[in-house]
Chains A and B, each alone.
Chain A
């Protein structure tokens, strides 16, 4: 019996499996075991405008699968009544491995991620209590909650757990880079390999591990002053965190334009140019970007083009085409 269960789990598309080249998962699976029914409920909630005040905005409005659940169209996220948010909507991928969410890291658990978007007046502008009332009134949700949680009571915990079940299975670890690093027969070309070497020398101070982020907060020299957005300081209320933002993962980075917390760069070329020659000084500028008299990262034009070639190997086509995560039929 034990053997049978093991064999089954390999084939089970709803089983969470950590890729061997990833750090340990952080999600509290013990409190929220994934089931097919829970995942499928979460999938429907993710694509349902009922999570917003007027029904106009769903999670998928700003998190689209074909670009690794980022928002390719808007520099700043757009909420109900066409309200413009203050930051760029980030990709959703590998969230089961992260400790902090949102650009300022104010959210520290996957279950709480939807709450921040729901309550934000510039995003979904709805209350948790009201969403529960709306879901309770829908026959299809009654059926799906019962199937997922074996009870007729719809509450916020079950709604959030279902959304988490959907999101924690969004694991992107099947890029050409992954297949290369795991010796699965993939080959990187000369430029990509030179780019990997340059990346390891110059970028992994922040974009560390195979998640390509150290999950930390850094000031990467975008601005000299931070009146518009003080970043991590908003959460920690510590001036040493002024202008620091979460180091984003670079997985699928070729897809997740525009870049930076405010989406100011449209292309990866602009991003690399920023590190090469655009870094601005301030008190909290990351020490890694301050080399003696020169600011930024010393990059030759060749290295810049090689790193760009390498970054394109982080695109995971199977993730953006995975039917489990697509808009459900109903």
Chain B
């Protein structure tokens, strides 16, 4: 026991002296990213007693649940190189579950980012095939979180549920569960609903340093998730969607629903 303590102490000394001798100190810093879910120009409120929101086809609705996975975050530097948020095979790092019911989940802190200025960010909405095929996961990817599709292995990438008077479902609910990532060789018909989102900081570049943790404030607009490059969603015509093919249009909409609102 004693010997191993001495060994550790010596090893620590060696490590310390090595890092002292080599590179001039590069300070790493952190970056916070806040995901704020909005409905048009207002902040999203869950479970409002009335259907206070209106989609682009004039249907009133409220929202009871909104959650989505963000992963594979990359920050681009002016020289074109990237900081890549590391991913761990058990899902404990690099995957984030943004849940409207949990304020803490909406602020991500990326650590160990080399100091410097970053010009844009890229992330994936969803959980990629490589990660799923690693087997049972922890943290945000724990199946106990309720977003694992048991019958069709994989995660629901983006889930939104609520009530809309025009819905013909029981209780007038609408449920859209966007998932589907499978790439099986020989089957080109499988739907891949993973979407990469790239957002420029528009010159208002966050400068990461040991002294300052910039905060990027992103807004995800529910109305855009219902109308965008994919299609215009109507609760009257199709309020219950639970399979990859049924949600391609929403995946396409969601890809365009994120904007950088401000940085400070």
Q: Which of A's residues lie within 8 Å of B, judged by CB?
A: 28, 31-32, 106-112, 115-116, 118-120, 127-129, 132, 155-157, 160-161, 164, 234-238, 240-241
Could you tell me if A109 and B187 are in contact, using CB atoms closer than 8 angstroms?
no
Q: A234 vs B152: C-alpha distance in the bound complex, in angstroms?
A: 9
Q: Give the chain A neighbours of B137 by CB distance below 8 A.
A: 157
Q: Give the chain B neighbours of A127 by CB distance below 8 A.
A: 144, 146
Give, as a whole number of angstroms, the nearest-CB distance from A316 to chain B: 27
Contact among B144, B148, B187, B244 with A155 in the assembled complex (CB-CB below 8 Å): B144
Cβ-closest chain B residue relative to A232: B187
Could you tell me if A128 and B151 are in contact, using CB atoms closer than 8 angstroms?
no
Q: A118 vs B145: C-alpha distance in the bound complex, in angstroms?
A: 15
Per the CB 8 Å criterion, the residue count for chain B at the interface is: 27
Q: Give the chain B neighbours of A236 by CB distance below 8 A.
A: 187, 189-190
Give, as a whole number of angstroms, the nearest-CB distance from A134 to chain B: 12
Q: A237 vs B152: C-alpha distance in the bound complex, in angstroms?
A: 11
Could you tell me if A116 and B146 are in contact, using CB atoms closer than 8 angstroms?
no
B238 within 8 A of A: no
Give, as a whole number of angstroms, the nearest-CB distance from A233 to chain B: 10
Interface of A is mostly: helix
Q: A120 vs B150: C-alpha distance in the bound complex, in angstroms?
A: 8
Q: Give the chain A neighbours of B108 by CB distance below 8 A.
A: none
Q: A112 vs B132: C-alpha distance in the bound complex, in angstroms?
A: 10
Q: A118 vs B148: C-alpha distance in the bound complex, in angstroms?
A: 12
Give, as a whole number of angstroms, the nearest-CB distance from A129 to chain B: 4
Q: Say whether, besides A32-B135, A129-B144, A155-B138, A240 and B153 are in contact (CB < 8 Å).
A: no
Q: A107 vs B136: C-alpha distance in the bound complex, in angstroms?
A: 12
B142 within 8 A of A: yes
* Between-chain CB contacts (< 8 Å), 18 pairs: A28-B135, A31-B90, A106-B151, A106-B152, A108-B133, A109-B135, A111-B136, A112-B135, A118-B150, A127-B144, A128-B142, A132-B144, A155-B142, A160-B136, A235-B152, A236-B190, A237-B244, A238-B190
Q: A108 vs B137: C-alpha distance in the bound complex, in angstroms?
A: 14
Q: Give the chain B neighbours of A31 by CB distance below 8 A.
A: 89-90, 134-135
Q: A17 vs B151: C-alpha distance in the bound complex, in angstroms?
A: 30
Q: Give the chain B neighbours of A155 by CB distance below 8 A.
A: 138, 142, 144
B110 within 8 A of A: no
Give, as a whole number of angstroms, the nearest-CB distance from A205 to chain B: 16
Q: A107 vs B182: C-alpha distance in the bound complex, in angstroms?
A: 11
Q: Say whether, besides A28-B135, A106-B151, A157 and B142 are in contact (CB < 8 Å).
A: yes
B143 within 8 A of A: yes
Cβ-closest chain A residue relative to B141: A157
Q: A115 vs B145: C-alpha distance in the bound complex, in angstroms?
A: 13
Ordered nearest first, which 9 A-B pairs have the shortest CB separation?
A: A238-B189, A111-B135, A160-B136, A129-B144, A111-B136, A237-B245, A119-B150, A157-B136, A128-B144
Q: Give the chain A neighbours of B244 by CB distance below 8 A.
A: 237
Q: A31 vs B141: C-alpha distance in the bound complex, in angstroms?
A: 15
Q: Give the chain A neighbours of B134 by CB distance below 8 A.
A: 28, 31
Give, as a whole number of angstroms, the nearest-CB distance from A180 to chain B: 33
Q: Give the chain B neighbours of A156 by CB distance below 8 A.
A: 136, 142-144
B191 within 8 A of A: yes
B243 within 8 A of A: yes
Given A111-B135, A128-B142, A237-B243, 13 other A-B residues pairs in contact with their CB atoms under 8 A: A108-B133, A111-B136, A112-B148, A115-B150, A119-B151, A120-B151, A128-B148, A129-B144, A129-B146, A155-B144, A157-B138, A160-B136, A241-B189
Q: A157 vs B244: C-alpha distance in the bound complex, in angstroms?
A: 25
Q: A155 vs B91: C-alpha distance in the bound complex, in angstroms?
A: 13
Q: A109 vs B133: C-alpha distance in the bound complex, in angstroms?
A: 7
- Mark B151-167 against chain A: 1 for CB-CB distance below 8 A, else 0: 11100000000000000
Q: Give the chain B neighbours of A132 by CB distance below 8 A.
A: 144
Most chain B beta-carbon neighbours within 10 Å: one of A28, A127, A132, A237? A237
Q: A128 vs B134: C-alpha distance in the bound complex, in angstroms?
A: 19
Q: Give the chain A neighbours of B142 by CB distance below 8 A.
A: 128, 155-157
Q: Say whether, besides A108-B153, A155-B138, A28 and B187 are in contact (CB < 8 Å).
A: no
Q: A193 vs B136: C-alpha distance in the bound complex, in angstroms?
A: 43
Could you tell me if B133 and A28 are in contact, using CB atoms closer than 8 angstroms?
yes
Give, as a whole number of angstroms, the nearest-CB distance from A140 to chain B: 21
Could you tell me if B136 and A240 are in contact, using CB atoms closer than 8 angstroms?
no
Could you tell me if A161 and B136 are in contact, using CB atoms closer than 8 angstroms?
yes
Q: A115 vs B137: C-alpha distance in the bound complex, in angstroms?
A: 12
- Mark B85-120 against chain A: 1 for CB-CB distance below 8 A, else 0: 000011000000000000000000000000000000
Could you tell me if B143 and A164 are in contact, using CB atoms closer than 8 angstroms?
no
Q: Give the chain B neighbours of A118 by CB distance below 8 A.
A: 150
Contact among B90, B146, B187, B191 with A157 in the assembled complex (CB-CB below 8 Å): B90
Contact among A28, A112, A119, A240 with B189 in the assembled complex (CB-CB below 8 Å): A240
